């Protein structure tokens, strides 16, 4: 498993995995930490939000916001979740279409590894 330190973010699913909660389940986590899930018997899901049974996991910072809103909708209803989204003024409009590692170029992936390993 890659070390979980300041260079790895959005890895709450690894904590759930270490607790034994995700064994045999699908889970999302930051794509740079996906190899860690296998160590705990979980299967990596590239989805932004993954629900497997009563467990919900997400990948990346903004995916955590998406998961929180989805959970709000399940617990309190869509109207409340949408009101919370509005109160946060969460209206994603990324400047670039570069947030998915599945469509990233090799050069971009190498840049991330080089910069974040310093």
Query: Which residues face 52 on adjacent strands?
Result: 55
DSSP code at position 117: T
Q: Which two tokens stand for residue 92?
A: 């994603």
User: If 0-12 CB within 10 Å is exposed, 13-18 middle and 19+ buried, where does residue 112 land?
Assistant: middle
Residue 10 annotated in active site: yes
- Active site residue: 5, 8, 10, 12, which one? 10
Distance (Å, rounded) from C-alpha 27 to C-alpha 47?
9
The residues that are catalytic are: 10
């Amino acid at each position: 498993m890659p070390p979980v330190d300041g260079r790895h973010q959005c890895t709450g699913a690894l904590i759930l995995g270490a607790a034994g909660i995700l064994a045999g389940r699908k889970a999302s986590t930051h794509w740079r930490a996906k190899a860690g899930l296998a160590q705990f018997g979980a299967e990596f899901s590239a989805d932004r939000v993954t629900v497997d049974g009563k467990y919900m996991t997400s990948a990346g910072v903004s995916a955590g916001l998406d998961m929180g809103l989805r959970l709000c909708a399940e617990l309190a209803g869509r109207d409340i979740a949408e009101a919370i989204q509005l109160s946060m003024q969460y209206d994603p409009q990324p400047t670039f279409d570069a947030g998915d590692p599945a469509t990233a170029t090799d050069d971009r992936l190498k840049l991330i590894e080089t910069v974040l390993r310093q």
